[in-house]
Structure 1
């Protein structure tokens, strides 16, 4: 059974607005240094005594230490100094141990062991030159594309790194896995173009990186499009063909919008497996850490028209957690066609997603349009073994947005598909009041009914697909538009009301419109009275337009609304649902 609850809160926004934190430093131990020269590792550097250092050997350093980078990418050896020769030279030297070979169990063991240790805040104080950067200045620091990792003759994927700065104050360790061998990428300023920031002469060698992105030719064989990026806290983005950068997903949400404040996990370390020749999937492993939770993640990322990330997470709990959010999705909604809040803006709509779609365990499809409410609003949809949910951008008409830079009409929607049985719980939607589009004020995630306890573990698998409007997820008519109009009272005994105007289109709706007398709208309200129901064919937009008025006939403060279309007894559409405050 799916139930919907609405909750308003006046918590301070500074405790609930979604910050983008960065990530910290954990090492497997003794990995060799990777350099971007010709996308190959640099040869093994010589020590002061003339002995070669081991490529991935040496004793395993303590957590938080990195192998020294004696040679930067700018001074890397010439291409003829191959990896094979470097390893051969190293084997001639005494006391050289073998390379560290990667095993996914290593990441799981790191997370398990880290959960047994006291939490150490991964955020560090950046040099003022980096911490004082504005978002615009930080955007000028660009990775030099010609220094991207991976051999273009063997794979279409390429790897670029993000520099620390501004809000990204957690040093992230990034490893490559090549031929099964772990190789760390040491910091190198030579990998970056600092633009007009004036930072090119600074020494930031102790800062490590802030994150990374993967590129792939999504548009055509000659393109170099962004496929995914991992930057800040546990956030990541995913794009498919013809999509622009939009909303985000993240690894985990902890006590989001709760009374004690949100706990924000970070990805502290990554292992990126170099794709084999011709592979169309790339695998990324990640170590997650927060005050009460650690986790080992695996992302199998496949580019395409609808790029997809298949995700496995193994979580470990230092302490109990009141509310854990699985597969969280982040969006932005400033205003849309319903115009429940007004902004002085030349654009008709400003949002990265316009609704939450749910396919619950009973097979019902629910569509919940998003809002930028006056107060914090939380909606819960009780469920058991959900089939899927996602934040979607259904409106693809550029004329509705008129934004040539953000291209909201091209931004992806994200669809989460659980793998296995997730049991009982609820999908939670958090809508945070926001005066600006700079805030990601929409979050949706799954909350298990069973709360994690100290010393416990949890494993979960799911996929995140970067879709457009969700077409193809089901064959029914979609709720495409929501418009709202306040109605003034017409006399002393008449109460004011609200008129809702909904558009449904797609599926087999146009076929059944031919017999409009047997087409009806099932409309229900938990409080108040529904009046003046009408259904009209919409030749301009396709489908039909449904009108109804809601009048508060009592002292209720809010009402939960549901609308779906039927032909005789056949359900033709998904169910539109919305909480309404009188």
Structure 2
């Protein structure tokens, strides 16, 4: 394990935007930085989106669609080649850091661009007294890539638009009153199972998003229509919002049974999206891209400003979404092939184009929330035993080792870096599925999915970075994990990336080894003047072939190590109550060392039986 330390002066301040922070691991002490090596030990004016007359020599304008439910559409063609990401890790020197608000409660991004039609569907003034007419335009996925490339050659434009006061002043509760009328959903569930619903602008959502449908290979713009929404008790039904676009969209699919209408995915806020499988409830999020989370200038938050949604064919078990990403220094063309199921999956391809160089690009970023769990004693009253949307980071590194890092709500900001080359996968998982541990009937943390990222192609050298931000409540997402390539992108450069995200319950199908399931920690006070204080760690491992090997537990061994400090009193015993094996050890501080890296895994003779549990520790 290679360790590096860096110091930075980081302060926490609240900003009206999703902003992760980062600089270094700050582990309970002032600003001790610690990196962990994952190798084994040894346009818009806000007007409605409407078609315009085609430019001379340009393609014809797409047909506008209001609220029809016509099914079917040809599937679009793939957009990108195999991923060969390039980017250079920036060694952050400090930045203001804040936790991430859930997009449903998230202030609008400050660095995004106007959502408007592509060059194939340019905006134009419309005579409101005459019906809008146009001719169909054939959709080619290359249009999205060309649009992203062309956009990167233009100056960045702030996307935010002044909403009417009636929308801008909505509280989060009032905004939730605005519901899409399910009977007006796009696509026919009878044909494909999929249906499409839209989100209305308001509250923090002040970036108008262009929505396009692709039916039978032809592009159709979805202009704004207030008639698609039920404004409930928000008191907005009498207002005229004809100049507004949309805030995002939701896809539904019968995940539970053939009669259900479950949420499969949603794209809402900046470049955030959610994915759910059968029996899963809304939980953590994924993002299109993370920029300079640990940079001294603060994070830059990209936004998806336009979408093209391909109407699925009859009987098809996949729906394809194209998205245009934009921010001050990068644009991107994304393709999402979303496949519903017990563990729903999104295959993602992205072409990125850089207006300027970027110190640190975070690829395939995942967002979660961790307030407290079994290893972090609560400092406030709460009826629930645990509150988190994920409880650990799992990494399958390029050497084939499986690492499990329990999450924390630290006293100070923590950034952990796991050095690697060509990673095989990483994810934020929710392993604890016992409702009794949470006792939350509203958020159902026991049903929230974990997300597993599987890279496609060789991602080269870099590191998985884990950011843990202190939070006082569950209203903010404070956990983020992503891949940082070693090479920095430069102005005018391009990058291709391909990966999949799977919404899984606990990831027990990812490998056949025993899992690190629980981490409990206690301080042991000195018993005499000459005896130092100790910290006791209690780890539970379960699953895999442990039941087979525990028949001869005397030959089983716990390999426990610490980068700094002394490990003693290692004990291993069968755990018939929880199943599996329990490992107990004590850690003593040596000299003036401030922190350490801990690792533990199980062996039978020389055969590795379990994941490697790893945790940074501040004495």
TM over 0.5: yes
1:375 equivalent to 2:412? Answer yes
- For residue 376 of structure 1, report the CA deviation from its aligned partner: 1.0
* Structure with larger Rg: 1
Alpha-carbon distance, 1:540 to partner: 0.8
Which aligned pairs between 1:31-180 and structure 2 lie closer than 5 A?
31-39=62-70, 65=123, 68=126, 98-180=135-217
Q: 1:6 to 1:393 in 2, by over 3 A?
A: farther
In the alignment, what sits opposite 1:343? Answer: 380
Aligned length in residues: 542
User: What residue in structure 1 maps to residue 351 of structure 2?
Assistant: 314
Matched, 1:10 2:10: yes
Unaligned stretches of 5+ residues in structure 1: 42-58, 77-85, 91-95
SS state of the match for residue 146, structure 1?
helix
Unaligned stretches of 5+ residues in structure 2: 21-42, 53-60, 73-116
Whole-Å separation in 2 of the counterparts to 1:19 and 1:164: 21
Residue in structure 2 matched with residue 570 of structure 1 by the alignment: 607
Q: SS of the counterpart of 1:514?
A: helix
Matched residue of 1:533: which SS?
Answer: strand
Aligned pairs (5 A) from 1:199-210 = 199-210=236-247
User: Aligned-pair distance for 1:203?
Assistant: 1.0
Give the drift of 1:368.
0.2
2:71–2:311: 8 Å Cα contact kept in structure 1? no
Alignment of 1:319-330 (within 5 A): 319-330=356-367
Distance, in Å, in 2 between the alignment partners of 1:548 and 1:191 is 60
8 Å CA contact retained: 1:11, 1:376: no
Supply the distance in 2 between the matched residues of 1:38 and 1:176 (Cα, whole angstroms): 11
Cα displacement (A) at 1:149: 0.3
> Aligned pair in 2 of structure 1 residues 2, 510: CA closer, same or farther (>3 Å)?
farther
Work out the CA distance in 2 between the residues paired with 1:362 and 1:323.
Answer: 24
Aligned to 1:52: none
**Residue of structure 2 in register with 1:51 after alignment:** none
Q: 1:416 to 1:9 in 2, by over 3 A?
A: farther
Match of 1:79 in 2: none
In 2, the alpha carbon distance for the partners of 1:66 and 1:272 equals: 22
SS at match of 1:196: helix
CA contact (8 A) 2:394 2:426 kept: yes
**TM-fit CA distance, 1:65:** 2.3
> Contact between 2:271 and 2:288, CA under 8 Å: does it hold in 1?
yes
Aligned residue for 1:448? 485
2:232 matches 1:195: yes
2:401 is the counterpart of 1:364 = yes
Cα distance change on mapping 1:139 and 1:260 into 2, 3 Å: same
Task: Measure, in 2, the Cα distance between the counterparts of 1:450 and 1:202.
Answer: 51
Deviation for aligned residue 1:68:
4.3
1:343 shift after superposition: 2.8
Tell me, yes or no, if the aligned pair for 1:8 and 1:378 is still in contact at 8 Å.
no
CA distance in 1: counterparts of 2:613 and 2:147, whole angstroms: 45
Q: Matches of residues 156-555 of structure 1 in structure 2 within 5 Å?
A: 156-555=193-592
Deviation digits for residues 112-171 of structure 1 (CA, Å, limit 9, x no counterpart): 000000000111222221122111111111100000001233221000000011111110
Q: How far is the alpha carbon of 1:38 from its aligned partner?
A: 4.4
In 1, the alpha carbon distance for the partners of 2:451 and 2:382 equals 27
The whole-number CA distance in structure 2 between the counterparts of 1:69 and 1:501 is 71
**Structure 1 contact 271–284 (Cα < 8 Å) conserved:** yes
Deviates more, 1:237-246 or 1:9-18: 9-18
Contact kept, 8 Å, 2:275 with 2:503, in 1: the verdict is yes
Distance 1:67 1:500 in 2: 67
